[in-house]
Amino acid sequence: MSVSDVARFGTSIWLDDLSRAKLTGTDSHSLPSRIAHSGVVGVTTNPSIFAAAIAGASEYALDIASMKNATVDDCVKRLTTDDVRNACDLFKEIYSATKGVNGRVSIEVDPRLAHDTDGTIAAAKELWQIVDRPNVMIKVPATVEGLPAITALIAEGISVNVTLIFSVKRYGAVIDAFMAGVEKATNPSHVHSVASFFVSRIDSSVDALLKANATPEATALLGKAAIANAHLAYQLFEEKFASPRWLAQAERGAHKQRPLWASTGVKDPTYDDTRYVVELIAPETVNTMPQNTLDAVINHGVIRGDTISKNYADAVEVFKSLSDLGISLNAITTELEIDGVNKFAQAWQELLTTLEAAQKI
């Protein structure tokens, strides 16, 4: 499979990984090599990625040593924004060639602010100014408190990656928040946004309930919930961005908020390791992949064209069958949002603790 096959059907490949070693490395897994040979046209990060990248990595030692008198929060901010700024520079040509659609690098606001609207807005503005690159995207969680922050930031011309979306219902609220910001923006043509819809964690939660049920009806539904959920999200994307409300903004030069499939690494080893890529191909989408998933797609992924648009009826049937078994997707997605916010906050705290110890060496 050529990675160009993925892009040919409308899905942009972004890498869900960033570290200083990847920025400066020269092997096939380095970011420059991924851009040149693996079809990667963007990067996403999150608190867990930065925690894994920075903890114990020698590439950061000199910078940490130079900031012994800085607060640990300022130290983290410096290390992460430096990496993101340098990654933005690597994608400068792609950003220009695609008129801002790709060549994007995302950085998340402090996850401890997930339920603080004003704090999220202030932190996002600060990150936007510190990175100081037009192709950066600020990640804001799709919590209830995050929704007005999305509107405010888009209105001010700040490009936003809305993260931790698990349900189609919340995704609809995210699109509405985005459109409200576009409507308030002086020049919406300068703003780009993606909505990060999480995939694999849905199957992990639903499959556990199906296995506990163990009936033939339940077994037949294993591995179907996450892809069905994403398919219905894309159906909503098509509907919302064909509405009169959106078309009025498109005439002003506004760009659609593209769905981004996140959490696309397969967690169940019995499933095909490319399923959350090959089953989620459609126009105007992004798939951000961990390194192993990208390699799997390159090595043995079978791209069959648009695998979303014709499957809405099947997705509805999956949801109906789950409901018949007493499985509530609403309850599951609510729990996943809470868990996602908590995990990112925990990773961030672990990073702060690690750096605080390193500053004392």
Tell me which DSSP letter residue 284 carries: T
SS3 content of the chain, % helix, strand, coil (to 5): 55, 10, 30
Report, as residue numbers or ranges, the catalytic residues.
139
List the beta bridge partners of residue 199.
Answer: none
Amino acid of residue 222:
L
- Grouping H, G, I as helix, E, B as strand and the rest as coil, residue 163 is strand
Give me 129's structure tokens: 């100014």
The alpha carbon dihedral of 266, 90, 12, 162 has a sign of positive
Distance CA 159, CA 194 (A): 9
Contact 151, 184 (CB under 8 A): yes
DSSP 201-254: HHHHHHHHHHHHH-SHHHHTTTTTHHHHHHHHHHHHHHHHTTSHHHHHHHTTT-
Cβ–Cβ < 8 Å for 212, 327 = no
Burial 112-143 (b: 16+ CB within 10 A, else e): bbbebbebbbebbbebbebbebebbbbbbbbb
